[in-house]
Amino acid sequence: MKTIFLTMFVLYAAMVCSAGNPNPLPNPGFEDGDRMWSFGDSTSKLVHEAAHEGKSGLRVGDEEYNADPGSVTSARLPVNPGQEVTLSFWARGKNKSSGAYIYFYDSGGKVISKPQPALWPANEDGEWHQYSLKEKAPVNGTSVAVWVHFSPGNIGITDYDDFAFEGIDSGVTAIPPQASRDRVKPKEAVKDLPPRKEPAVIILKLDDLSQKNGKVHPSWQKISDFLESRKIKGSFGVVCESMQDAKPEYANWIKTRHDSGAIEFWFHGWDHASHNEGGKSLSEFDTRSYEEQKSRFDRSQKLALEKLGFAFETFGPGGGGSGQHFDANTCKVMQDDPYMKAWLYNKPIDDDGKKLQEAGKITILDRVWEVNIEGAVGVPDSKKLIAGYKSHPDRKYFVLQGHPQMWAGARFDEFVKIIDFLTEQKCVFVTPMGYVNSIKGVK
């Protein structure tokens, strides 16, 4: 009887398997190395210790602070719009430092821009657990893949293995991913810094200050206290819409620091919100009429004078969207605003910036992209800053952008590491207008 049952079971299993491959994803457990997988970072790797079963598994993340994002992508599998697929995998990790995503692609092989379903596995026991995720292909979806992402600025390792897709049509041919990129982490190389004729000037451009429940966010209090303890000058970009109902505590917090001369508060936009033009998402000051942009300047300056007792003299446009963050109308508004004197340019100076500066009213303080506090938004990266600093020994000043409200835990520690380096290099920290006045001979 047992022999008959076993024979029937084997025959049934064979029939199921012959009906189609239950997991069409090639090399799902990395037993063939990185075949049909693409690696886009320098830390993700295949090791035996990360294997759930077999000889190899995927390990992402780092035991130390890692400012580099992780990116590992599987081969793509053809799907039809509305087709429901299920992704399953095994993972082991104690903190949510990485996640596995279902990525859908259009007919051109481009990732479809929509909220992508994801699972960020974590379990306090640090043992292997199986996870699954189900999703329907969007109307323009023609293929699907796995994307494993490590979030930059975190500490933590997660192991992944045995990925599987269900719901894929039988007989499909997998589409190979793009070739892996050779990415080498920049080295600090502090000892190899070339000599400078004079210490570099540093302008700390810290973005997105706004009122929260009538108070200043604790992250801004923390950065303010830190700069004060180091006797370092900086500048905070204010999103002005929140000043409409500014509580005295918030307004006085700004006034006190402004009056000390240690912090300059500059105009970072009315609402820092994106808007849609012709189906494109654009940042606040990109492709808006002169009248609308001037209205946003005027409203903000009026509130600053009423609530804070001073007008903004420096401007730095907000990011977001897919454009360049300002246009010719922005330049005209800067020229026409009676208070504006400086522009924290979001890129190296271009023809628009040169033309505006040549008019004599506005000083452009432009950027060197590779010398910055953050690599990815909200993620301080000391190695990248030091490498960039080393390659620009003749640059007189650097505008360093950052987002303190995103600097929790190890990210703030990395910012402190950057300040320690710049201090060791005898850099001079000034406010935007402090630097503008120095080069114009204004006391």
pLDDT one-digit tens code per residue, 388-406: 999 999 999 999 999 999 9
pLDDT at 7 over 90: no
Q: What angle do CA 377, 380, 384 make, to 5 degrees?
A: 100
Q: At residue 247, what is the residue type? A: K
Give the C-alpha separation, 404 to 402, whole Å: 6
**pLDDT value of position 4:** 42
**pLDDT value of position 87:** 97
pLDDT at 177 over 70: yes
CB hemisphere CA count around 200 (13 angstroms): 25
Query: Are the C-beta atoms of residues 76 and 145 closer than 8 Å to each other?
Result: yes
**pLDDT value of position 398:** 98
Write out the H or E segment, with its range, that includes residue 91: strand 84-92
Diameter of the chain measured on Cα atoms: 101
pLDDT at 98 over 70: yes
Average pLDDT, rounded, for the chain: 90
- Percentage of the chain exceeding pLDDT 70: 93
**pLDDT value of position 6:** 36
pLDDT at 95 over 70: yes
**pLDDT value of position 189:** 60
pLDDT at 12 over 70: no
Q: At residue 64, what is the residue type? A: E
Taking residues 146-170, report their average pLDDT.
Answer: 94
Model confidence pLDDT, tens digit, residues 319-363:
887 778 999 999 999 999 999 999 999 999 999 999 999 999 999
Domain 20-166 CATH assignment equals 2.60.120.260:
yes
pLDDT at 9 over 80: no
Distance (Å) of CA 292 to CA 286, 315, 318, 330, 336: 11, 16, 16, 10, 14
Coil, strand or helix at 13: helix
So where are the chain's domains?
20-166, 190-440
Model confidence pLDDT, tens digit, residues 281-331:
889 899 999 999 999 999 999 999 999 999 999 999 988 877 789 999 999
**pLDDT value of position 17:** 37
pLDDT at 184 over 70: no
**Residue 3 neighbours by CB distance under 10 Å:** 7
**pLDDT value of position 15:** 37
Give the C-alpha separation, 362 to 6, whole Å: 85
Query: Are the C-beta atoms of residues 11 and 17 closer than 8 Å to each other?
Result: no
CB under 8 A, 24+ apart: contacts of 219-224: 219/404, 219/405, 219/406, 219/407, 219/408, 220/404, 220/405, 222/404, 222/412, 223/404, 223/407, 224/257, 224/263
202 or 67, higher pLDDT: 202
**pLDDT value of position 20:** 46
CATH fit for domain 190-440, picks 3.20.20.370, 3.40.50.1970, 3.10.310.10, 3.30.230.10: 3.20.20.370
pLDDT at 36 over 50: yes
**pLDDT value of position 1:** 42
pLDDT at 169 over 70: yes
Backbone φ and ψ of 147, nearest 5°: -125, 125
pLDDT at 269 over 50: yes
Backbone φ and ψ of 328, nearest 5°: -65, -35
113-122, 219-228, 292-301: the lowest-pLDDT one = 113-122
Taking residues 366-374, report their average pLDDT.
Answer: 95
**pLDDT value of position 21:** 55
Model confidence pLDDT, tens digit, residues 41-53:
888 999 999 999 9
User: The pTM is what?
Assistant: 0.84
Taking residues 53-72, report their average pLDDT.
Answer: 93
**pLDDT value of position 159:** 97
pLDDT at 10 over 70: no
**pLDDT value of position 18:** 33
**pLDDT value of position 237:** 97
**pLDDT value of position 211:** 83
